Structure 1
Amino acid sequence: MKIAIGCDHVGIILKPVITEHLMQRGITVIDKGAHSDTRTDYPIYGKAVAEAVVSGEADLGILICGSGIGISITANKVNGIRAVVCSEPYSAKLSRSHNNTNVLAFGSRVIGSELAKMIVDAWLDSAFEGERHQTRVEMIADVEKEQ
């Protein structure tokens, strides 16, 4: 599995922790930046990770900014992305099993490193259930196509 990861200058504190955690799980990590704590703009990285996922360069994506909100909004503007912001594992699990999310976002000002790892694990360890949820995911895709 390959996961693209990206963050802004605020998320830079959690990115190496999550990168190491993913590598310990045997996952290949594709780092889309940022690479320092120099002030930068989260849309750059939200777009880069989302494009890596929809192009097939990565299977999934993880985004980190201060809250997870702005970077996930950006990712969700890319057709084919279903990004979710999570601050606890239960929502991460349900986002995968019910909504087939392909990008996970969280905020470095909202959660700490241990909780971030638990959220990532809950998300990765869940599988899309399909069935009634498949119809809903297709409905989301239809809304996207209308735009």
Structure 2
Amino acid sequence: MTNSQSIAGQLVAFAADHAGVALKDALAQELREAGAEVIDLGTHGEDSVDYPDYGTAMAHAIADGRAALGVLVCGTGIGISIAANRNPAVRAARCANTTDARLARQHNDANVLALGARTMGVEVARDCLRVFLTTAFEGGRHQRRVDKLTDA
């Protein structure tokens, strides 16, 4: 993973259902190798589990301050992001490419990246994660919109 200097030292939470566990584990390992600290909220195997449980676990980790940023993985990234977004502390963005990941951070101050293990390859997921973690929120005109998300 490139940009390891800006990734080193970051604390990132990960959670996935059974469809996303292999991609979660691969991405988490790459972050560890780049010097990031990883919180693994599960799941830890391929036995069938319910994605809302892991989206909710991520939401709690963000809301209680254990992590400022997170990564969710399920088959499509959709269901698990819906579950996490039920918590007002979470701004989970399901991203399919690096443009999505960059704009989710720049314009929406997304704090959780959601990925689909069945809809993208590991290289695209890795690139999305790198961009997500190394892109800053622009603030400015975007801040009032993000504030409305929090106040909703």
What's the TM-score bracket when you normalise by the shorter of the two chains? over 0.9
Q: Percent identity?
A: 45
Which of 88, 98, 101 lines up with 2:110 in the alignment?
101
User: Which residue identity does 2:46 align to in structure 1?
Assistant: D
| 1:125 match | 134
Structure 2 alignment gaps of length 5 or more: 1-9
Task: Output the CA distance in 2 between the equivalents of 1:100 and 1:115.
Answer: 21
Supply the RMSD in Å over aligned alpha carbons.
Answer: 0.8
TM-score, normalized by length of structure 1?
0.95
| TM-superposition CA deviations, 1:62-121 (whole Å, max 9, x none) | 000000000000000012110000010101000001100000001100011111000001
Alignment of 1:44-123 (within 5 A): 44-123=53-132
User: How far off its partner does 1:24 sit?
Assistant: 2.2
Does residue 8 of the first structure (1) align with residue 28 of the second (2)?
A: no
Preserved CA contact (<8 Å) 1:50 1:61: no
Q: Which whole-Å CA distance do the structure 1 matches of 2:33 and 2:108 have between them?
A: 26
Structure 1: unaligned runs, 5 residues or longer: none
Contact 1:50 1:103 in 2 (8 A): no
User: How many pairs align?
Assistant: 143
Instruction: For residue 95 of structure 1, give the secondary structure of its aligned residue in structure 2.
Output: helix
Aligned counterparts of 1:142 and 1:36: Cα–Cα separation in 2: 37
